[in-house]
Amino acid sequence: MFTGLVTDIGEVAAVMDHAGGLRRLRIHCTYAAQSIALGASIACAGPCLTVVAFGPREGGGTWFEVEAAAETLARTTVGAWQAGTRVNLERSLKSGDELGGHIVTGHIDGVAEIVTRDDIASGEGAWGATARFVIRAPHPLARFIAEKGSVALDGTSLTVNAVEGDTFSVLLIPHSLAVTTWSERRAGDWLNLEVDLMARYAARLAEAKAEGY
């Protein structure tokens, strides 16, 4: 379980393909090696991936390796990652941790596309520009996205500002742009989308009622 609050930006160092469609990725990060455990879950740009190996890096920082199966490669952007790709990272919640974003599972529902990015200049003395993104969701997922609701994009918990058909907008403040990969995002980029868990269950309950269950 995660919150959608990014705690580090990792960089893919190596991509290794294995038989059966399995892909192993080595990721560099600034987490202390002793804070990572074998079998731990780390959200990498949204998808919850399991640590299968890790160790300290010369000069500081840590490397860890995760494996992505065919389902993950098909439903997320992981299949397009290559050496140099930067990814938002978040380690799983521990009992007693503050839930600062919203409940995020790391189970990606689909891939969304950035339609437009508009940078909004801040006034004098401000901390930088904000950015408004208009996102197009896959049609089957659009019904789960509501104005003022929550959505996770590339592992980042965001509030939906407006919804129109299959598109919706989100606004990122200067801090969020600075500590995530969103500063690099442009129109045409693809994002891992996880809809709000509560919206998904509410829709399923409505469907079950309509079906007579």
Catalytic residues: 2, 41, 48, 50, 69, 107, 159
Q: What φ, ψ does residue 76 adopt, rounded to 5°?
A: -135, -175
Which ranges of 2-81 would DSSP assign to H, the alpha helix?
Answer: 70-75
State whether residue 36 is helix, strand or coil: coil
Q: Return the structure tokens found at 41.
A: 């879950």
Tell me the CA end-to-end span of the chain in Å, nearest whole number. 29
The DSSP-derived string for 18-61 is -GGG-EEEEEEESS-GGG--TT-EEEESSSEEEEEEEEEPTTS-
- To 10 degrees, the CA torsion angle through 35, 37, 40, 46? 40
As a whole number of angstroms, the distance between CA 171 and CA 7 comes to 19
Measured distance CA(160)–CA(208) in Å, rounded: 27
How many angstroms from the chain centroid is the CA of residue 55? Answer: 24
Separation CA 77–CA 182 (nearest Å): 15
d(CA 213, CA 199): 19
